[in-house]
Amino acid sequence: MGCSNNPENIENTNNNQNNDKEITENTPNQTDRSEIKKLTNPLQLSKSTNLQTSIRTFKKSKTSYTRKKPKISPFTISTIKSNGINDIYLVKVNASVFLKEELIPIWFDKDTYVKFITKANWRIDRKYNFTDSRGMPSNNAMEFNYGAAIARIGSGPKFLLIPNDLTYYNKFEGPLYLRMNLPKNMDVYPEGTMEIKIFDGTLMSIEEINSKIGWKEKDMSYASKKSTDLENKLTKDINSLRMNPILFYETYQKSLSSNIWTEDFLKNIKNINDNNQISSFASNNDLYIYLKEFTRSNYDAIKNNLNKRGIDKYMEKLKNLISISIKEKFGCENLVDCRKTKKIKSEEICMLYILDTEFRQNIFYSEYYSIAINIMDDIIPGDIFIILVLMKD
pLDDT in tens, 313-333: 899 999 999 999 999 999 999
Provide the pLDDT confidence category of residue 382 given band limits of 50, 70 and 90: confident
How far is the C-alpha of 257 from the C-alpha of 140, rounded, in Å? 14
Cα atoms found within 13 Å of the Cα of residue 17, Cβ hemisphere only: 5
Q: Where in the chain do CATH 2.60.120.430 domains reside?
A: 33-210
Q: Which residues pair with 68 in a beta bridge?
A: none
What is the number of other CB atoms lying within 10 angstroms of the CB of residue 273? Answer: 18
Give 361 or 350, the one with higher predicted confidence: 350
- Minimum mean pLDDT range among 252-256, 282-286, 297-301, 343-347: 252-256
pTM of this structure: 0.54
How far is the C-alpha of 27 from the C-alpha of 82, rounded, in Å? 9
Using CA of residue 126, residue 132, residue 136, residue 141, what is the dihedral sign? positive
Share above pLDDT 70 across residues of the chain, in percent, rounded to a whole number: 70
How far is the C-alpha of 91 from the C-alpha of 345, rounded, in Å? 24
pLDDT (mean) for 307-317: 84
Q: Classify burial at 293, counting beta carbons within 10 Å of its beta carbon; exposed 0-12, middle 13-18, buried 19 or more.
A: exposed
- Minimum mean pLDDT range among 2-6, 50-54, 278-282: 50-54
Give 171 or 9, the one with higher predicted confidence: 171
- Digit-coded pLDDT (tens) for 87-130: 899 999 999 988 888 889 999 999 999 999 999 999 999 999 99
Q: Is the pLDDT of residue 13 over 50?
A: no
CB 122 within 8 A of CB 193: yes
How far is the C-alpha of 136 from the C-alpha of 148, rounded, in Å? 7
- What is the domain class of 33-210 according to CATH? mainly beta
